[in-house]
Structure 1
Amino acid sequence: MRFVVFSILIYIFIPFTCFAQESKAQTPESYYLIGWLNNWDQQNKDYPFVLQDDGVTWKITVSCNTDDGWFKIVPSSAFGRSDFWKNLLCAPYDGCQELSGEMVVDGGAWYLARTSGTYTIEIVPSEFRYHITLNESIAQSFSGTLPVLYINTENPVDSKDNYVHGSCFLNVPNGSAYSPLGSEEAPLSLWIKGRGNYTWSAFEKKPYRLKFEEKVTPMGLTQSRHFVLMANADDDYATLRNTVGFELSRLMGLDYTPSQRPVELVLNGDYKGLYMLTEKIRVAHDRVNIVEQDNRETDPYNITGGWLIEIDNYDDDQQIRFCESNGEMLRFTYHSPDTLSEEQYDYLSDCLKATDAAIYQTDKSSTEWEEKIDMDVLARYYIVQEIMDDCESFHGSCFISKDRGFDSKLKFGPVWDFGNAFRRDHLRFIYDKPSFSQSWIGEIARYPRFQERVKQLWWHFLSVNYSQVDTYIDEFINQIAEASQCDGIRWPQYKQDNINGRKDSFKWNLSRKVQFLTEQWGAYDTGIKQSTDNHAQEEWFTLDGRQLGERPVKSGIYLYKGRKVVVK
């Protein structure tokens, strides 16, 4: 019998052959193993379970010599019945990795991994219970094209609240541009715990937070003790949501964008698939470069900064909460400092409430909100979110910083979570009928000065940067292609198969949104024109989008009213 088997890995639906033990004499109600995806055989009784001496337990041992696949169990009484499919015994799909559990009727399947050994499957139909024994370990299967991060811990990593101590080392393939980190003989000490909210609770492929004992620079990332392993289990666009969102942030010239590197993870001997080793957002001179404020500070000047906060969509003890002027709840989680004095709490609360009041001025020619928020930085941040059609962008994982100083402004960024990018059918602005409440941005978008700055930066992006994105996507997909296939085998439910097809779908969504924004904000005229006229000072920009205080005195190419202009 040819069929596919099951593991904690991908939808590879290549049939393969399994061999069962010789069965004892069967009772009238016997049980048989059958396979799936276009290979279910409603008549095949070649793979029977064996009734054990206790009279209630049935057992079969299978050895699989090719790929992974799915199994269901059928009672003999179901053969030949019109409702055959409604009488199968299965494991629930959402628990199919479990090696023990309760069977259900229909609605699921077992998925067992390829192995050089055998699986023994035991069922007690009268109790709807099953147990699976792996007689030999699953062969590790990583691509060999990416660095592999090995982490071993003293205890299981099952919490995002408590660190577990462990050690790690990073192996790199031959010819890699990166250097190894530690070694199997001399691993580095670290602590690891879970991270995330929805991504931690909703997926079996978990994201992790790492804290090294000493500062490291893995694969050229900025030196730190703090990094994140992003699982991207929620990204069925070939890991492109965060990757392209981060690249757009860099192209848009935001002060700091977290860097990331693709790796394959082996945790306590278990291959976990493709991850992105990512710089954690934190206050540091080469990350969010602001003054680091002490916890429980009370000095009136020192408490003006630095602040690293986040517009959040989860309640947290470390938050300031109040209603936005449109009636929506605003949650600001403070990350640095993370333990506040009364003076710090009052200062931050007053600052944020004053900002909200300034944003909701009736007079949209007012510039009061610009005294609170750096408009140029916000415009760049906003454009990135619009290009990615991130309908959760100003709802959660929306970071804001403020440096020290009575006149310092709130700066949006760094970008972080693009997990909800391109999840809508309708083309519209992210604040227009959003899937999630979008704090502040819908009201700010009503200010003509903000919209004008957005258009200026948009024209620059179209003329200088947009052409780079397509090549960047292709190069990234080529880099991770084989590792993504291995990840798909490990986690079939997260749809990492057909990576090039998923890349094309992502590109289609991206180009569709860019076309929409071009229709709204205008296309850039790439024609270069000569100019010696003394144009209005405030409309001159450098090619990287910086507004000039006066007409340029140096010769060169500049932006004027959305056009490239040569100044002699």
Structure 2
Amino acid sequence: MRKLFLASLCLMQFTLMKADGKLTGHPIGTPYSVDYSNGQRSTTVNTYAMAFDGKLDTYFASYDRSYTWAGLDLGEPYVITRVGWSPRNDSHGEARVVLGVFEGANSADFMDALPIYIISERGTIGLFSYADVNCSRGFRYVRYVGPSDARCNIAELEFYGHKGVGDDSHLYQLTNLPTVSIHTQNGEIPYDKEHQIVSQLTIISDDGTTLLSEPGTTRERGNASRSFPKKPYRIKFDKKQRVLDAPAKAKKWTLINNYGDKSLMRNLLAFELSKRLGMSYTPFGTPVDVLLNGEYKGCYHLCDQIEINKNRVNITEMTPQDNSGTELTGGYLVEIDAYAGDEDSWFYSQKGLPVTIKSPDSDSITAEQRDYIEERFNMMESNTSRYLDKESFLRHFLVGELSGNTDTYWSVYMYKNRGESLFYTGPVWDFDLAFDNDNRTYPVNSLSDYVYRTKGSCAGSMRSFVDKIVINDATSIGKLVEVWDDARQKGLNEENLVAFVDSMENVLQASQKLNFLRWPILDQYVHQNPMVWGSYRLEVDVVRQYLMKRIGWMDNRLNYVFVPKPNGIEDAGAVSEQPWRIYNVSGQYCGQIMESLSPGIYVVKQGQTVKKVRKN
């Protein structure tokens, strides 16, 4: 009976959708059109009203090339169940509708707009294309936003639906990924890193069943990445929000643009390495689709902002009153940063490292705090054995070298907590050029030494700083091998990493198709690409092939042999027959004669037999 009832309900809903009539209302849209006869701005020819005149030989063409639209004021809310469109009748018309976005709103300024459909196929001149809409909220205002650089250019639009305010039980996502939709006040487009544009920030997830929509601001972010046509953004909610399944509840979040990374996964893969190599904090990150004022911008990574927070960099956050005693000792978040000179609050260390003070920020830091952190950083730089937490530094180092990241030491975060003398390294950040994506280091696995020592980019004197720890400090070298062995024993291997890449490729399939419609660069060199591979599949194959070789490269460079460790420990007297191969607990080969070794625990291997033994 239940199955029959559900089938009947579905039939009723399907019948209702098909029975919904074509909606009429008052045409609205971008006010200025273009008069192609003279190229001038107009309000009388090619206007938005022509997208609703029922004629396929007229059209709307906006004067501005992007962020322009045509729509209807329906007078009261309607649940939209179907949309239709027909392209302008000219040589470019059929392609101009690709990535056009339909939105619905209940505010005339569309600040509260939600997407209801995105076009992913070319149109047909002289014919209507139709799509069913699966969005349960009712809207008074509906519109079509043309794709970038298209002047909207649409011959006809149609909306179908039934009267009602609806609900939010099911909203529209562009793909299987969460949809991030940003609407800015007066349609202002973010244009630099300083000016924060008032915004409504909306995230639709869980197959359209979860909605987060709150006021906030948007601005650009990043350094080199800001020069790309696909811009990176920093969004900031007015109140702290728990976004998707991120651990932190926070105001600030980043949208990483992945323009030069055509696999669209390198940063997320590096974060996975960070987790597997035991970093105390790995930034949250997840792939999303992004819309800005109704225009599709592409596939991004929604990530933590690197800042002090109990679920981000978990140290004490200072106030301007913390100027003496224990309060003055922390917490501080700094970044060894090649771009430090572009920042408001920074210094050069005594040995030539450019350091940005991230927290306290430039608006709140006091002279006492600035003097203290500069003095303490110089002490750490001169005496790393006493003032640098070597373990966090070595784990960070391994993430950078395992990923083959050119920029590991171009930008390095460090932090110091209140009441502690040590500086800790992390979190990891910025891996667009990693995993064989930089023509200056490609192919990374052919390099004779670590990336940072050969062709890597280092801020100031950072190369010498790293050498002092991982090349010239015997204790640190031993600890480095121990950290590597621990990760290898826990499953850091080629098979598991390639499986992660495979899973990410599957998750990104629908989104990458839209992304490379918006940014058709798969057959172009962009940023530091070493090769043009020509397809998304081949771009991901580069990452796969790199990882299949890199683990072995790292084993060899560390003089490490992976030996699975058994659980039990036997007495060394059990090692009676030769030949045994003997390793210490860090996986380093120690020869074949137990008697010559110092007391301790060893791993011995003969064929497929592995034992852990104790020599007294």
Confirm whether residue 434 of structure 1 aligns to residue 455 of structure 2: yes
2:415 to 401, 415, 418: 401
RCO comparison, higher one (Cα < 8 Å, 6+): 1
Give me the identity figure in percent: 24
Confirm whether residue 475 of structure 1 aligns to residue 493 of structure 2: no
TM-score, structure 1 normalization: 0.66
Would you say the 8 A contact 2:97–2:154 is kept in 1? no
Deviations 1:40-80 (A, max 9, x none): xxxxxxxxxxxxxxxxxxxx9424446999xxxxxxxxxxx
2:251 to 225, 230, 233: 225
**Where do 1:299-310 residues align within 5 Å?**
299-310=324-335
SS of 1:431's partner is helix
SS of 1:206's partner is coil
- Looking at structure 1, the residues matched to 156 and 122 of structure 2 have their Cα atoms a distance apart, in angstroms, of 7
- Looking at structure 2, the residues matched to 132 and 224 of structure 1 have their Cα atoms a distance apart, in angstroms, of 37
- Looking at structure 2, the residues matched to 247 and 562 of structure 1 have their Cα atoms a distance apart, in angstroms, of 31
- Looking at structure 1, the residues matched to 124 and 398 of structure 2 have their Cα atoms a distance apart, in angstroms, of 51
**Number of residue pairs the alignment of both structures matches:** 410
Deviation at 1:503, TM superposition (A): 1.4
- Indicate the residue corresponding to 2:356 in structure 1: 333
- Indicate the residue corresponding to 1:29 in structure 2: none
**Where do 1:106-255 residues align within 5 Å?**
114=122, 133-136=151-154, 143-154=174-185, 155-172=188-205, 174=207, 180-182=210-212, 187-200=213-226, 202-221=227-246, 222-236=248-262, 238-255=263-280
- Looking at structure 2, the residues matched to 168 and 300 of structure 1 have their Cα atoms a distance apart, in angstroms, of 41
Deviations 1:406-456 (A, max 9, x none): x43110001111122132134220231233126121221121111111111
- Looking at structure 2, the residues matched to 138 and 412 of structure 1 have their Cα atoms a distance apart, in angstroms, of 57
- Looking at structure 2, the residues matched to 305 and 115 of structure 1 have their Cα atoms a distance apart, in angstroms, of 60
- Looking at structure 2, the residues matched to 377 and 264 of structure 1 have their Cα atoms a distance apart, in angstroms, of 33
Deviations 1:120-171 (A, max 9, x none): xxxxxxxxxxx975422999x9852222111110122122211001113222
SS of 2:467's partner is helix
- Looking at structure 2, the residues matched to 304 and 511 of structure 1 have their Cα atoms a distance apart, in angstroms, of 45
- Indicate the residue corresponding to 1:322 in structure 2: 349
1:280 to 305, 309, 333: 305
- Indicate the residue corresponding to 2:399 in structure 1: 384
Cα distance 1:408–1:138, how it changes in 2: closer, same or farther (>3 A)?
farther
- Looking at structure 2, the residues matched to 138 and 211 of structure 1 have their Cα atoms a distance apart, in angstroms, of 37
Q: CA RMSD in A?
A: 3.3
- Looking at structure 2, the residues matched to 226 and 305 of structure 1 have their Cα atoms a distance apart, in angstroms, of 22
SS of 1:62's partner is coil
Equivalent residue letter for 1:180: T
- Looking at structure 1, the residues matched to 505 and 543 of structure 2 have their Cα atoms a distance apart, in angstroms, of 12
- Looking at structure 2, the residues matched to 115 and 504 of structure 1 have their Cα atoms a distance apart, in angstroms, of 33
**Where do 1:10-25 residues align within 5 Å?**
none
**Where do 1:407-486 residues align within 5 Å?**
407-421=420-434, 422=436, 423=438, 424-425=441-442, 426-427=446-447, 428-437=449-458, 439=462, 440-445=465-470, 446-467=472-493, 468-486=496-514
- Looking at structure 2, the residues matched to 297 and 309 of structure 1 have their Cα atoms a distance apart, in angstroms, of 17
Equivalent residue letter for 1:62: S
SS of 1:488's partner is helix
Deviations 1:273-303 (A, max 9, x none): 1111111111111111111112363113212
SS of 1:320's partner is strand
Equivalent residue letter for 1:451: I
Equivalent residue letter for 2:175: G
TM-score, structure 2 normalization: 0.61
Deviation at 1:232, TM superposition (A): 0.9
SS of 2:490's partner is helix
Deviation at 1:206, TM superposition (A): 0.7
Deviation at 1:195, TM superposition (A): 0.3
- Looking at structure 2, the residues matched to 264 and 143 of structure 1 have their Cα atoms a distance apart, in angstroms, of 7
SS of 1:288's partner is coil
- Structure 1: where are the runs of 5+ without partners? 1-59, 70-112, 119-130, 359-368, 542-557
Equivalent residue letter for 1:509: Y
Confirm whether residue 518 of structure 1 aligns to residue 546 of structure 2: no
- Indicate the residue corresponding to 1:53 in structure 2: none
Would you say the 8 A contact 1:290–1:404 is kept in 2? yes
Deviation at 1:257, TM superposition (A): 0.6
Deviations 1:59-115 (A, max 9, x none): x9424446999xxxxxxxxxxxxxxxxxxxxxxxxxxxxxxxxxxxxxxxxxxx956
